Structure 1
Amino acid sequence: MLQKKLRRTNKKIYETLVANGFEGSYRTVCNFIKSWHMTSEEENDTRHERLQHPPGEAQVDFGTMEVVKDSHAVDVKCLVMSLPFSNRTAAVALPAENQECFLTGLKMLFEEIGGVPQQLRIDNLPAAVIQPRTTREEAIYTDAFLQFMAHYGFQVQSCNPYSGNEKGSVENKVGYVRYNFLVPAPVMHDYDSMNRQL
């Protein structure tokens, strides 16, 4: 069975079935998948907190995506930025999650969206955070990230440890980018061509 992050969406399943001679409707496929999920898995009783997202706020996070390079499946890192107020998304493929890639990726994302958000919400990325936020103390950031913040003039808000719900918009967008643009795994010639595709 495929890893959860590599499974296909209803739309992709329907397109594959049609390509193999299926004559039913998209709604039939959706209804079947929904009933299958209800009978094969117990529903989780989870509670969700509604978050308000002011204009000018962005959330960023890394995701791992699978691509085909030189006839081999390889993982690439993808830095995704979500602007929850407008529901806009931008993504850039990078070779690693280190500080140089993170700052270069942010710069590329700012160019892609045509500006710099007023506030940036991040989790405790080692590329930017030396010491994570605690209940008593704020996060401590790397010197390079502090200089980057000062240069571009945005504020940063780091999430609490193990609290992905505090940046749920970008968590969802990482999955959206993966399922809609990178499943099945595309062929990657180089990072420039992959980023033009994204």
Structure 2
Amino acid sequence: MANPWSLQEAIKRTGVLKEGHFLLSSGRHSARYMQCAQLLQYPHDAEQTGKALAQLFKDQVIDVVVGPALGGVIIAHEVARALGVRCLFTERKEGNMELRRGFSMKPGERVLVIEDVVTTGGSVKEVIKVLEGLGATIVAVGSIVNRNPGHNPFTYPYRALMEITIESYDPSECPLCKEGIPVVKPGSRTTLKEKI
């Protein structure tokens, strides 16, 4: 009999944790980066991760799952599938997060916001602002990984499948910059801070 699926094993097997010098979407620098796209490229792993994350919210009534493009799209879809509800995503247009592509939401719909990795929660906070503006009821926030164990950066309940401490630095205090190690931008968010 095959071993049961394990997120920790899947993350290790798919090479999610990267080592180097990275510019995070928050603008901070880090020597390690969680690239969950490496995990989610495999449909079975994506499905199992979505089911596991959905289980954290089985006590909630949820009408729709919303994730930010690009990192939150696949995992939000898999969580929505596990919960049997629809999935929407927000994306940036000229730097502003929006609900596009004909997506709409009725006031009062109960929303679960899903992201792949949360460091400062910046992208999720942008999604929440959009949803609040549409009159949605935010039920909770979830992610595969919380990079700040024990910390909830949101004003809503937050649950993650795993927590990992990965130190990050303000660019002016980054020891990797001081060593002259070139910085790499692995994420999808673009800001002025990223012009190095």
Q: Which has the larger radius of gyration?
A: 1
| Higher share in helix | 1
TM-score, scaled relative to structure 1: 0.30
